[in-house]
């Protein structure tokens, strides 16, 4: 019971770190928020492993891919440019209001209508019910970041948040996923982040900024 309550608390902490990763205008601060979220994900998988020992391997892979590799890629890219995010489409206070309302509505609706969204016996139990609500909330916060941020690095962080949301739902509802499938999932996001950051570095070299809107100036 204590392990399940710990998982529930850690899952809710994912929403706070998602909020910080998107809303912090300093890119290094946003990276620290993502790194903390990566460690929380590892901790959640680690607690789940007390009931499903094979998840220990999953936790180790998550640590090296999310906390070490992806965070390292982001840190290297951030060091190449300005520490401050390029101004987003929505100012800070309105954005805080919108993202807070989005997170609250998504969490409440998902938690209330879990039977409809995931009609399985496991999904209706705690902490899986909460985890499912948190996973969709984190996913949509990441999507919100992608849609409202002009800074390409923040867009990548949004992609990483979306993957973390999907990852949480997977580890919660399918803890017996084979290691080969897991390796494929985490490898895909690592390669995707590396490719996106490579493109961003080329954008920075071409335009002198990471403003994704500058891509409209490209010509054949």
Q: At 212, is the pLDDT very low, low, confident or very high (cuts 50, 70, 90)?
A: confident
- DSSP 8-state assignment for residue 124: G
CA distances to 36, 172, 174, 213 from 118, in Å: 28, 12, 12, 37
- At 85, list the tokens: 């995010």
Tell me the C-alpha distance between 83 and 206, whole Å.
19
pLDDT tens-digit map of 76-87: 999 998 889 988
pLDDT tens-digit map of 130-173: 888 899 999 999 999 999 999 999 999 999 999 999 888 888 77
Task: Please report the pLDDT score of residue 129 as a whole number.
Answer: 81
- At 14, list the tokens: 């994912």
The position carrying tokens 């879990």 is 114
Residue 179 pLDDT > 60, yes or no?
yes
Q: Is the torsion defined by CA of 126, 117, 61, 175 positive or negative?
A: positive
Tell me the C-alpha distance between 126 and 116, whole Å.
16
Burial of 153 (0-12, 13-18, 19+ CB in 10 A): buried
Task: Please report the pLDDT score of residue 217 as a whole number.
Answer: 65
Residue 7 pLDDT > 70, yes or no?
yes
- Are 119 and 167 within 8 A, CB to CB? no
Q: Is the pTM of this model over 0.85?
A: yes
CA distances to 75, 110, 127, 148, 168 from 115, in Å: 40, 9, 14, 31, 18
Please list, in sequence order, all residues whose beta carbon lies within 8 angstroms of the beta carbon of residue 9, skipping any fewer than 6 positions away: none
pLDDT tens-digit map of 87-129: 898 998 999 999 999 989 988 888 788 777 776 776 677 777 8
Tell me the C-alpha distance between 149 and 25, whole Å.
10
Please list, in sequence order, all residues whose beta carbon lies within 8 angstroms of the beta carbon of residue 133, skipping any fewer than 6 positions away: 106, 107, 108, 110, 111, 114
């Amino acid at each position: 019971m204590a392990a399940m309550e710990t998982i529930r608390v850690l899952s809710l902490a994912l929403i706070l770190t998602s909020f910080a990763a998107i809303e912090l205008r300093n890119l290094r601060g946003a990276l620290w928020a993502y790194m903390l979220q990566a460690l929380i994900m590892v901790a959640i998988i680690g607690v789940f492993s007390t009931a499903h020992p094979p998840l220990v391997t999953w936790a180790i892979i998550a640590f090296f891919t999310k906390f070490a590799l992806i965070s390292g890629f982001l840190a290297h890219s951030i060091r190449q440019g300005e520490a401050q995010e390029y101004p987003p489409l929505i100012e800070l206070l309105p954005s805080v209001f919108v993202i807070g309302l989005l997170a609250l509505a998504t969490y409440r609706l998902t938690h209330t209508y879990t039977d409809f969204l995931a009609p399985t016996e496991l999904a209706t139990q705690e902490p899986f019910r909460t985890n499912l609500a948190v996973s969709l909330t984190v996913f949509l916060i990441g999507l919100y970041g992608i849609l409202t941020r002009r800074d390409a690095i923040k867009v990548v962080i949004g992609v990483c948040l979306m993957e973390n949301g999907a990852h949480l739902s997977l580890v919660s509802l399918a803890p017996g996923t084979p290691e080969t499938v897991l390796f494929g999932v985490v490898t895909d996001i690592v390669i995707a982040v590396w490719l996106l950051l490579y493109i961003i570095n080329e954008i920075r070299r071409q335009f002198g900024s990471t403003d994704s809107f500058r891509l409209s100036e490209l010509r054949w």
